[in-house]
Amino acid sequence: MKISGHRSHTVSVKPDLIATSTLTVKTPRRGFFDITAEARDFLHEAQAAGGALTLFVRHTSASLTIQENADPDVLTDLMDALDRLAPENGGWIHHSEGPDDMPAHIKTMLTSSSLQVPVENGEMMLGTWQGIYLIEHRARPHRRDVVLQFVGSAAH
């Protein structure tokens, strides 16, 4: 089936900027933690114009996602769904770091350790209801590092 659609004009940039920073997030518990503002601040500090923002979490029991930022019930339901997919009492062999560790690894594998967001005119091209979240899959507090890297053109 052929679809019809409209594509915007093509914007080309000549990459002349690579900027990198590490965001450290102290997570108090399992859950979704909005890091959109921190990513936006990074782009402004880097004086980014057009290109791509990559985010990468340096852990195997936490992950990243782009998700709805309007109704908090969405995040609650998503956490419940992940818990059903990888329950603590799933009969896992690996349990030396606690009963929530192996489910955390599975949840990370099901979600993502990295994201890429297009940037135009120094702003992430997220949709109206989209936010960037660090997902903590462990029950106890952790210190998580998220590497932010922009590749593209600098604002002049």
- 48 exposed, middle or buried (CB, 10 Å; 0-12, 13-18, 19+)? buried
Q: Using only C-alpha atoms, what is the Rg of the chain?
A: 18
Mean pLDDT of 2-8: 86
Coil, helix or strand at residue 65? strand
Say which residue, 9 or 38, is predicted with more confidence: 38
Mean pLDDT of 10-25: 93
Residue 3 placed within a domain: no
Task: Dump pLDDT digits (tens) for 99-125.
Answer: 999 999 999 999 999 999 999 999 999
Residue 10 placed within a domain: no
Residue 83 placed within a domain: yes
Task: Dump pLDDT digits (tens) for 24-54.
Answer: 999 999 999 999 999 999 999 999 999 999 9
Task: Dump pLDDT digits (tens) for 67-111.
Answer: 999 999 999 999 999 999 999 999 999 988 999 999 999 999 999
* Tally of domains in the chain: 1
> Chain-wide mean pLDDT for the chain?
96
| Residues in a beta bridge with 48 | 154
Q: Which domain holds residue 88?
A: 32-154
CATH number at residue 59: 2.60.120.460
Task: Give the per-residue pLDDT at 62.
Answer: 98
Check if the beta carbon of residue 133 is closer than 8 Å to that of residue 31: no
- Reported as a pLDDT band with limits 50, 70 and 90, residue 6 is confident
Residue 15 placed within a domain: no
Its pTM stands at 0.94
Task: Give the per-residue pLDDT at 146.
Answer: 98
Residue 60 placed within a domain: yes
For residue 11, count other CB atoms closer than 10 A to its CB. 9
Residue 19 placed within a domain: no
Task: Give the per-residue pLDDT at 4.
Answer: 85
Residue 23 placed within a domain: no
